[in-house]
Amino acid sequence: MKQPRLQDVAVRAGVSTATVSRALSGKGHVSPRARARVRQAAQELGFVVSYHASSLASGRSRNIGVVLPYVDRWYFSTVLEGVAGALMEAGYDLTLYNFEGDRYRETVLTDFLLRKRLDAAVAVSLHLDPEETAQLLSAGIPVVGVGGPLVGVPTISIDDFDVGRRATEHLIGLGHRRIAHLGGADERERYFPMSSDRRTGYERAMADAGRAIDPAWSLIADYSLTDAYQRAKNLLADPVDRPTAIFAASDEMAAGAILAARDVGLTVPGDVSVIGVDAHPMGEAFGLTTIDQHARRQGTHAVERLLEHLAGGHGEPSNEVLPAHFVVRSSTGPVADPSAH
């Protein structure tokens, strides 16, 4: 049986061969209606794009590398979902490189990404130094970063300092003076300073409002619910010297704090208010007030920027700061005793 050709798909769909090529390659503009007709015609005819042949002709592999420190944490997996969905829509393959913290960082940066099997890479929360960036770019691998600014590379991020400040100001506005922070460890310049910036935002809001920070109330956890639960439980178990509110740098840690409060006999928000960051799906079940950083959208938008670059749009690299939005639920409320110090 004769194999269907590009021209056959064009005739069936009632469009030009150029439109068929753009619709099936994901390169160039095609209206949604025309794209749907082309895909339906290709499916009916059993037409399959030969990416091997097109790669030889274009010098591209139609494969994008995604580099991230963890795959088993909500933020990273959700950004990855956004990246994967956008690449699928555009007809690109995805190769995932998981650092497992720092375990494979050097191997990935100095070996895997330089094997020239990739058209480009998305680096999630990875703080590349100028030499590392230059090495990738000199190897012909364009990069888009997610999480913070990089020299010479377009990036997508939110303002983590502003997130920490706004979350804390929300609690201050409810009359809370004794506010604890549950955050992550200092990133030590290996990754973008998300935890550090959110903590600094908390400290700035407290200072601007004239609120004292007890060092014992600035807790470090590993972003898991279980670790946050234990640390918050130890803090809240003291009936004399405990905070009336907690700002957690992630929703999973905030959920751990809520469970800890309940287990030591406190009500939320009657005795202690809790706010998180992420808009994690579990937050709704906990009635958790949070700041939505639109993690999936960060991944989708990074791919859009990358595909623009591959299509010839070589604008000046910049850090695009996406908005983060409040989602107010029942876990935050007015302080029970406004005169508490």
| CA–CA distance, 160 with 197 (Å, rounded to integer) | 6
pTM of the model: 0.80
10 pLDDT above the threshold of 70:
yes
Residue 52's pLDDT is 42
Identify the weakest region by mean pLDDT among 217-231, 253-267, 293-307, 325-339: 325-339
Residue 86 vs residue 23, higher pLDDT: 86
| CA–CA distance, 55 with 27 (Å, rounded to integer) | 13
| CA–CA distance, 112 with 95 (Å, rounded to integer) | 10
Structural domains of the chain in order of their starting residue, each with its CATH number: 6-49 (1.10.260.40), 61-157+295-310 (3.40.50.2300), 160-292 (3.40.50.2300)
Residue 149's pLDDT is 86
Determine the average pLDDT of the residues in 305-329. Answer: 88
Determine the average pLDDT of the residues in 126-135. Answer: 82
Q: Are strands 273-277 and 289-292 parallel, antiparallel or unpaired?
A: parallel
67 pLDDT above the threshold of 80:
yes
| CA–CA distance, 323 with 207 (Å, rounded to integer) | 24
Residues 6+ apart with CB under 8 A from 249: 164, 181, 182, 183, 184, 194, 195, 198, 199, 223, 276, 277
80 pLDDT above the threshold of 60:
yes
